[in-house]
Amino acid sequence: MQRNQSTINSAGTVAWGTMRNIPRIVIAGTHSGCGKTTIARGVMDALTRRGLAVQPFKVGPDFIDPTHHTVICGRVSRNLDPFMMGETGVLETFMRASQGADVAVIEGVMGMYDGLEGSDEASTAHVMRVLEAPAVLVVDVRGMSRSANAVVKGFREFGTGAEIAGVVFNRIGSPRHRSMIEASLETRPFGFVPRDESCTVGSRHLGLKMAHELLEDHCIGDLIAKSCDIDALLDAARATPALPDAPVQEPEPESVRIGVAKDEAFCFYYQDNIDRLHGAGASIIPFSPLHDPFPAIDAFYLGGGYPELHARALEGSGFGDAVRKAVDDGMPVYAECGGLIALTRSIRCDNREYRMAGVLPGRSCMTGRIQALGYSDGEWTGGPHYASSGSRILGHEFHYSRVECESDARFAIRLSRGKGIVDGMDGLYVHQALATYAHAYFSPEFARSLVASASAYRRS
């Protein structure tokens, strides 16, 4: 694996220092829906209840699974995404977030080898190589017995074989079902997890329900503790080699206050984005657009989420008037996906139209079917001074809505990959307010620019 040998500085590069050993294991799957999220949650819960400090991670751009990890482990789950972060960024985030942890558990994405455009770029296997971490392969054995071991053999032979430390056979139907699988084992089993639908998490159009919507439940932790060899899993995690450590970078002194929307309607954020803003000198002020008055802040970051589920409450709150006044006053506002919807004139859902903030020249509507799903890659072309013209912006799109823009709409981002708001254009803006459909992974330059814009607004 290639490793960057530079320094963490104002340019955001990394200097790798002494080697540090972090026990780590990846919960990989044969395909989406095989149960890896359930197994990952259960492993995290079982390890945490042993008294271990467990640092959770999620491969890819997912926002929802990390909320469950965070509640279970009591440590903020981080995304590891080589497309958006680069290999150096994956390693740096892993090492930084794992400070003080006894073990790291990394939930994979899709099938273990599934990556960008049929390659393994940004796949679970890619992250495993970067972190030199072994996998527990989760196999859904519904409807098969001996064939499950053929699947495992195929996965081992497709790669090097060494990356799979063991297998969890999921959704075992009966003791007889288990014995038929055991008759032809070729790879060490870490567990045989019986089918138990009571331990699953409900879902909706953007994925599983968020952690804050569910009561605390140790059902899956109990199930994994009883049906899996946690000691063997820990042995595999502890057998991993040491990795080069990155020094801790002290944040810039806090000079501005950046509000971050945090409630049931706005809850999709990459933790690294928040960390980058803090590191650039921002004091982070979380507040609820649904329930709180608009705070005294110098800039506003409005993430994605489910504004369509709370459209009536948003319409009846004072949020729209407050943010519109702030934008008219010149406050820097950056919004993504659900935040974009909230800043348009209205949203049509549930067979009626709800008034939104009216900051941006367009109207939103829920479509009932997916409008965009995948990575985005673009360049800044103008607009608010959040990045220099021509600089790159990487992110991910996933939404079931569209925005119908008015004729005077202006855009700050041109995409080479992804759909954007209209015709490959993203970053709809008015004054210093800018909104995208893409959930961007902030570059150090972007974080510094947003803080600088907030500082200029504060001085004005």
- Provide the residue type at 226 as one letter: K
Distance CA 22, CA 131 (A): 10
Distance CA 41, CA 99 (A): 21
Please name which of 84, 85, 167, 82 lies closest in space to residue 125, comparing C-alpha atoms. 82
Distance CA 327, CA 247 (A): 38
Are residues 22 and 101 in contact, defined by beta-carbon separation less than 8 angstroms?
yes
Q: What are phi and psi of 450, to 5 degrees?
A: -65, -40
337 is catalytic: yes
Please name which of 339, 327, 335, 341 lies closest in space to residue 405, comparing C-alpha atoms. 341
Q: How far is CA 342 from the centre of its chain?
A: 21
Distance CA 151, CA 187 (A): 11
Are residues 232 and 190 in contact, defined by beta-carbon separation less than 8 angstroms?
yes
E strands, 6-150, in order: 19-20, 24-29, 54-59, 78-80, 103-107, 135-140
DSSP assignment letter at 132: T
Mention every residue, 6+ apart, whose C-beta is less than 8 A from residue 29: 35, 36, 108, 110, 111, 112, 124, 137, 138
In which residue are the tokens 């640092």 written? Answer: 55
Q: How far is CA 393 from the centre of its chain?
A: 17
Q: What are phi and psi of 241, to 5 degrees?
A: -75, 160
Print the SS3 string covering 386-408.
Answer: CCCCCCEEEEEEEECEEEEECCC
Instruction: State the maximum Cα–Cα separation within the chain, in Å, rounded to a whole number.
Output: 74
Strands 392-399 and 135-140: unpaired
Which of 337, 349, 365, 405 is flagged as catalytic? 337
| 158: helix, strand or coil | helix
Which residues are identified as catalytic?
Answer: 337
